[in-house]
Amino acid sequence: MRSRKLLTLGVLLAATALVAATPAGERSSVREGVGPTLQSIGTLAFGPNGVLYAADPQAATIFALDIGASKATPGTKDIAGIDAQIASMLGTAPQEISITDLAVDPVSHNSYVAVMRGQGAGAVPALLRVDGAGKVEIVGLEATKFSSIALPNAPDANPGARNNPRTQSVTDMAYQNGRLYVAGLSKEEFSSKLWSMPYPFVAADGGTSVEIFHGNHGQLETRSPVYTFVPYTIGGEPYLIGGYLCTPLVKFPVASLTPGAKVRGTTIAELGAGNRPIDMILYKKDGKEFLLMSNTSRGVMKIPTERFGTEPGITTRIGGTAGIGYETIASMTGIQQLDLLDATRTIVLSRSGAGAPVNLQAVNLP
């Protein structure tokens, strides 16, 4: 049985990419076909009608995968030690895989897990699905229709760097109202970028260069990417609420995201230094709305959204935290990835410590 799965994986993960990032100044064309080939797999996002967006940061390319309606059991069942189960299916050890993202299909409520098998240049991507019966299966893409679009002017790879810029060519994505929003880096001087592109894809322009005032650093920031974001509406107008390293929370009006523009976001909170945001979701509970953010070193933050539209921007150096405050959810520890499962629960991947198993679990929204 394993040999068949590995054969399927081998077909899926051919080493040569179909697309590469386009040179500076060019608008990339759209590719369409069947059986996409990815060099890597990072952040995931769902659109309507069974479309799953998968970022290939190594190729600086976005793939729109037409996975269609799932025939699997609806929902997602808790699975303890899911990393070991995935590693076994991929023919390796748990320490040889990296889970790069988790996304929930809003229709089936199945969970999709993006995984890199192996280390360094030899690592290959895989996509898996977990259903309501607890079945974990590799999503074979050999017969899957797709379209893809490469992002122009992507940063060059530098494997020896502390943070290889190429791995941040795409840091997060979200779909809303016919458009895919993408955050990442370019190799321009103002390297932090946001893209707003229609789907079906037409062409990728140079995106919008974005900067923020980082209160803990006391300076403008143009080179750090938006690590995670959510679309949000303020006064009837669409915005993106984004989280940065160390950890500013910033809002950008979508209307400002025009190709070639340089835009400064409004920093509405400083949530503490020495920290990187991982995932954010919006939800409502008891008639109020909240943003739930997982982080690398400050636990899971529950942030009320009621002041997102009125909070004055932070424009001077501060120490510690400032602006909109948050509550740390003590019951949610070791969270590596999260996504909204349904109206009352989030699905999380958590690990209690180094070397401990990774568990997939539905958790009541706090």
Say what the pLDDT of residue 5 is: 37
Say what the pLDDT of residue 97 is: 98
Say what the pLDDT of residue 157 is: 87
Say what the pLDDT of residue 142 is: 95
Say what the pLDDT of residue 171 is: 98
Say what the pLDDT of residue 342 is: 97
* 172 domain-assigned: no
Say what the pLDDT of residue 17 is: 35
Stretches in the chain below the pLDDT threshold 70: 1-28
CA distance 290 to 22: 39
Say what the pLDDT of residue 69 is: 87
Print the SS3 string covering the chain.
CHHHHHHHHHHHCCCCCCCCCCCCCCCECEEEEECCCCCCCCCEEECCCCEEEEEECCCCEEEEEECCCCCCCCCCCCECCHHHHHHHHCCCCHHHEEEEEEEECCCCCCEEEEEEECCHHHCEEEEEEECCCCCEEECCCCCCEEEEEECCCCCCCCCCCCCCHHHHCCCEEEEECCEEEEEEECCCCCCEEEEEEECCCCCECCCEEEEEEECCCCEEECCCCCCEEEEEEECCEEEEEEECCCCEEEEEEHHHCCCCCEEECEEEEECCCCCCEEEEEEEEECCEEEEEEEECCCCEEEEECCCCCCCCCCCCCCCCCEECCCEECCCCCCEEEEEECCCCEEEEEEECCCCCCEEEEEEECC
Say what the pLDDT of residue 28 is: 62
Say what the pLDDT of residue 70 is: 86
Which residue range forms the structural domain that includes residue 90? 1-14+37-150
CA distance 87 to 89: 5
* 61 domain-assigned: yes
The answer, as to whether pTM is greater than 0.85, is: yes
Say what the pLDDT of residue 7 is: 33
* 184 domain-assigned: no
* 53 domain-assigned: yes
- Domain total for the chain? 1
* 146 domain-assigned: yes
* 158 domain-assigned: no
* 104 domain-assigned: yes
* 64 domain-assigned: yes
